[in-house]
Structure 1
Amino acid sequence: MSSRALPRVLLAALVLVLVITAAVVALRSDTPTSRDAGVSGPSTTGAPPLTATASQNAVPPAASQAARKKAVQQLLDQWAVAVRSNDSALLATLFDTGADVGFPAAEARRAANLAQVPLADWGYDITEEAVPTVDPAVTARLGADEVWSPPVVLRYAIAGADAASTTRPVGVVLARRGQVWRLVSDTAADRYGRSTWRGLWDFGPVIARVVPQGVVLGHPSRAADLDLLAKELGPAVAAVTDFWGPGWQQRAAVFLPDHQDELRALVGPDFAEGEIAAVSIADNIDRSAGTVRGQRVVFNPATLSRLTPLSRRVVLRHELTHVAARAATSAQAPVWLAEGFADYVGYRASGVSLSDGAPAVAAVVRSAGPPDSLPVDTQFATTTSGAKVELAYQLSWSFAVFLAATRGEDALRGVYLAVAALPAPSTAEIDAAVQPVLGVSLGALLVEWGRWLQQALD
């Protein structure tokens, strides 16, 4: 997308795939467009057929399974302690003699890289998921008494940002010699769909900027940028709370990776695009309980330098609006609603006029008359031309501005809560949700919006 003077933060449809969703921001103007991210679950597609090996595939009796699980959990607990405390001596004792080349050194680097991260929790847990099968070649090479790849997750929390711990997958392979279990690999299970999640600390030393409203994490080379984001975080949290209300944790974790490979590891390959400004991601969303774990705002290092102070402010407030509203938002909420709503909060009290913030809408109104419908989700796709995507986001923002200007901000929030809770609603369902809030049909409201745009952009 071409560079512009004013930003437009873009959010794609919130798509929940397994445990992670991402509301992705893209800037008009001096930055980019984007969508939502997800990760696929375990798959054996394309994996070669496995031959039976007594050590891996023979299921032990229940008592032996329990004993194995207990012994392995003890190893995982030691691993967690060694990494979190940067105890290189303890860490060195936990690897099998046949461990992957480079695995012990990578874990030592991770432990050192984590030293300045304010952690409230760090652990590894065995889950109840189906047990992935170890590559027979690995089993044969090790020649151990037993080889196992239990379903494991990293459990962690950032102190000052996370109200509860979140979890991320770990594809670990372990070997037993005699009675002792040790670590072999955290990459050998990749080919079977159980890849180890990589965080900032897997790419280099991490430093933190801690403020009362959260934590900003990144690498020493980005220290000046981290300072700017940390300075903006407090006012951004206050601005979102002023609009949304106090019903969210009012703290956030902001990540700033150093390069695109790192961004891709954090947010997924579909969203580490050059024109993305920032991405908000979340793990473990329970909308019935109103809880969300692992929310992160991740900035794109490739576009950060193009953000003006206004752009940076808008992006962060936009993303934090998604953080605040996540538990109340269906994974299939209309993109025009989610995007326009977050843009409204991002631009609120910024002094940006409708004509300056929505020049494409102004051009359409002048040349073809006012719009008579809201953008459909496909108009926000990254495969759509840049001009059409730009127009879709501007229309969404202008509709939110219209609702707030003519009905008040309480009505705008009311419409959001009524419609955002609906999964992929039809026009009739949106109409049924809007009428009790505004006392007018969606069709009449759209006509009024068009007339209002003509007057406001005249």
Structure 2
Amino acid sequence: MAGRRGVWSIGAVGLGLLLPLAGCGGPPADSARTEVQHLLDRRSAALLGHDETAYEATGTAAQYTRLRALPLAGWSYRVTDVRRTASGATADADLSYRVAGYDRAPVDARRTLTLGRTADGKWYVTADKPAGQAGQQLWDQGPVTAVKGTHSLVLGTGRTAAALRAYARLADRAVPAVSRAWGTDWSRHVVVLVPRSLQGMAGLLGSPASNYRGIAAVTTGEAGGSGRAPADRVVVNPEAYAILGDLGKQVVLTHETTHVATRAHTTAATPLWLSEGYADWIGYLGTGRTPTEAAPELTRAVQDGRPPSALPADKDFGFTSEPAELAQAYEGGWLACRMIADHWGTARLDAFYRAVGAHDRRAGAVEDALRKVLGTTPEAFTGQWRAYLRAQLSRTE
């Protein structure tokens, strides 16, 4: 493995033994790795140069067909291992790529390539797939169709351009809506991935499909905003998304876009009730939805005399939670943020979110922000939230 040289030193005797070995037994052990690296360098250059003929000269062109619509600013492999097989070789490589105009830094993906060899000893690619335990990339599921909106890029498989334009229109409305509430200190654009099915969504996220059944969309990205991470991806579950009405679809994409906007200020210190509640708060702004309409599960619990005793814990937001419990967690977070906006104002809500995320760890972050920004304590805040739930959800609207 490159980088491990020098772990132990070679004395005069060791060096004398090493020199003759370099001249016998054929080429150096890593010659195949070097040759494969050169092959993948040529393949990458052909893809970026839109030279299908040159790409085909390096092996299968199936990936080129799937990728040709993707606007790429960068594409490169770093070969990490080559293992010879009876028919050729298998190579492990780290792929780095950037979507033009959207990714601030390369997206990294681990890949496993299958290689054949011609009669005159030249390598060629026969397959390029995700490495074991690595999630799929969208093009692994079929040819990518790309639709560019004013503030969005929607990438889909198994979808017509017309169908993807509907997502772009919603995303284009979401971006300025989020900027009006949160501010403009973010990229102000969003990348939306629309796979063919729930199974496709799970493949992109590298998790079982059962984790996302009933979840309309999720946002991937790096918490804390180091500036090195690429643009977040909003990954849609087309099956759950399809059953939503027009308003529900807009709320979902605005919610996910809020996660993109707030990513730099969302850290390990930020509890999920705040990050998810704030995203829902922006998602519902201007929709006219009342608390009882937007929080039906929590309304039922309050009206049945079963109000929550504490703000939702992170575990309550697990995708494997019972649907009613998961809904109550999201609704409780939303109403906590709505209460802050109602009682302290939207500017204080914004400041509170940023103040919590400014801490480097969870312990004390919310308590400190409650004291400094809202002038209250966790106990008083929780009591006020419970009273707010009763006031907002006990009445019939």
- TM-score, structure 1 as length reference: 0.71
**2:171 matches 1:233:** yes
Where relative contact order (Cα < 8 A, 6+ residues apart) is larger, the structure is 1
Shift of 1:451: 2.5
Quick check: 1:455 aligned with 2:391? yes
Q: Is it true that 1:390 corresponds to 2:327 in the alignment?
A: yes
Question: Which residue matches 1:76?
Answer: 40
CA distance in 1, matches of 2:329, 2:307: 14
Equivalent residue number for residue 183 of structure 1? 125
Correspondence for 1:52: none
**CA offset digits 1:274-309 (Å, max 9, x no partner):** 312012112xx3837344314111111212321211
Partner of 1:379: 316
Per-residue CA deviation, residues 180-229 of structure 1 (Å, 9 max, x unaligned), is 44435535x95xx475x532223223222112312111246343331211
Residue 118 in structure 1 maps to residue 56 in structure 2:
no
Report 1:329-408 matches (<5 A). Answer: 329-331=266-268, 333-368=270-305, 371-408=308-345
1:164 — aligned with what?
Answer: 105
RMSD: 3.2
Match of 1:257 among 195, 211, 221: 195
Using the alignment, how far apart are the partners of 2:276 and 2:254 within structure 1?
Answer: 12
Asked if the contact 1:163–1:249 (Cα under 8 Å) also holds between the matched residues in 2, the reply is no
Query: Is residue 2:380 matched to residue 1:444?
Result: yes
Gaps of 5+ in 1: 1-57, 96-103
The structure whose Rg is larger is: 2
Could you list the per-position Cα deviations for residues 130-167 of structure 1 after superposition, in whole angstroms to 9, with x for gaps in the alignment?
x4573xxxx3413x6xx5735x2222222233233322
Q: Secondary structure at the match of 2:86?
A: helix
Distance change (3 Å), C-alpha of 1:320 and 1:288: closer
> 2: distance between equivalents of 1:418 and 1:405?
19
Q: Quick one: structure 1 residues 415 and 384, their matched pair in 2 at CA, closer, same or farther if it must change by over 3 Å?
A: same
Provide structure 2 residue ranges, at least 5 long, that are not aligned to the other structure: 1-20
Query: What does 1:318-337 align with in structure 2 at a 5 Å threshold?
Result: 318-331=255-268, 333-337=270-274
Change (3 A) 1:249 1:294: closer
**1:430 corresponding residue in structure 2:** 366
Moved more, 226-235 or 64-73: 64-73
Aligned pairs, how many?
370
Percentage of matched positions with identical amino acids: 31
Query: How much does 1:246 deviate?
Result: 1.1
Is 1:268 aligned to 2:232, yes or no? no
Q: Which deviations, in whole Å up to 9, do the C-alpha atoms of 1:294-344 show, x marking residues without a partner?
A: 411111121232121111110101001111112221246322111111111
Following TM superposition, by how much is the alpha carbon of 1:387 offset from its aligned partner in structure 2, in angstroms? 1.9
